[in-house]
Structure 1
């Protein structure tokens, strides 16, 4: 066991506190969001910064021995990072474009990495106040009325007609559309942020092909949740699970999917 039940409860409370901070910004007029564009042209808001501060400070306080890799923090050099046995991998506001567009499809991602694999993951959706989590070997859960309800991915085959294919509301690319068009009568489902992976983990969709750029903090927490629900996130070329804390923190293109027959 990596985290005991009281640890997991504490991380849930940290995510919920960060979610409240996000919502306090979301409910204000846009002019108060302190909206900026980062070097990679992605947006940054006061909500990202407040959520990041809450999560990183709390994790550092309770687990000072575990380093943190966060989207909104300066990254240690790989020469240092490659020595980590464990690290936290954090996206304090996944789906900032969805936040800016006010469509409610954004989330908080918190993952614990051992070597290069996620062993614990939590995703919290602040608008719906829905919390998902998983720990390796223990199953995947959505928390409803303070109870852990197990979730399961759908079983599917790539040969079947009518596959439910998830795609980004903000980032759908021509290569992804071409792949979707190659399937048999695929049904396209648009959804923002890491909530796409939770749709897979709950059997609400079958596959999510991503032929565009993503970062490790976008997928680490969703990966362990989806794996424990019976699904996978696989490198598009090698067909092996994604790995983490690499020298380059970009993900390769990938296929996220339910339980393949």
Structure 2
């Protein structure tokens, strides 16, 4: 199955090329780095960053904001209407633990909104793609299938995405407010948003620090699949009128707390 937008096909190819570079380092014995100044994570980050920047520059004149080139002044960034938002390797703990739950993330942002996103998990061989107005897809085992967020049904167990690394009291409070049974679905990196996009979870509340490049690509996937990504107020986590999470609208690249909901 071909994607409806040729640009998305190109972004998938760039993501996979970056993933190949990461895997060359991931499959080495990390002990070999102990005598060197660099870490395997740093090397993998930079290798993927270089592949992505080179690939995007070959197909687009748009500016690029990447975690590995984040020191672009707000005075310059605020002039951008449309740009690429990149996290070459999201999931530091997952990479170091070698559990496979790390991702390559490329998003196209237009006037503060993610309108296209690709999230590629090189170990899991999964690619999530979202195109605003066209839909969302998961490529796995060589097959491309559409995905849709799944709303919670009355009496159904809530499936709530959480982190393997930490749980906060605020998350526990939110779970209590849902009513009914709640099952925590553990996952690393930007794949947490993708679980809501694919219908494998109903909610992903994030009450910890993230940067815009951590979420942009998976945000595009989630909204293209029919989910919402909204700013989360810990005092009223399930508010119906919460504003959408936006990008490049302020000096800081840190996200507020947010909720991904089907």
TM-score norm. by structure 1 comes to 0.88
Q: CA RMSD in A?
A: 2.2
Q: 2:255 maps to what in 1?
A: 251
Where 1:256 maps in the other structure, the secondary structure is: strand
1:177 aligns with 2:172: yes
Larger displacement relative to structure 2 (194-203 or 141-150) = 141-150
TM superposition shift of 1:250 = 0.6
| Cα shift at 1:148 | 3.3
Structure 1 unaligned regions, length at least 5: 38-42
2:88 paired with 1:92: yes
Give the alignment partner of residue 149 of structure 1, picking from 145, 149, 161. 145
Structure 2 residue corresponding to 1:75, chosen from 44, 54, 71: 71
Which position in structure 1 is the counterpart of 2:17?
17
- Number of residues paired by the alignment? 249
Tell me, in whole angstroms, the C-alpha distance in 1 between the residues paired with 2:121 and 2:148: 19
1:108-166 per-position Cα deviation (integer Å, ceiling 9, x unaligned): 11000011111110000100211111111000011246553110111126x75621111
Mapped contact 1:35–1:44 kept (Cα < 8 A): no
Equivalent residues of 2:127, 2:138 under 8 A apart:
yes
What is the distance in 2 between the residues matched to 1:145 and 1:193? 21
Do the aligned partners of 2:115 and 2:220 also contact (CA within 8 Å) in 1? yes
Gaps of 5+ in 2: 234-240
More divergent stretch after superposition (235-244 vs 213-222): 235-244
Aligned with 1:155: secondary structure? coil
1:52 counterpart (40, 49, 54): 49
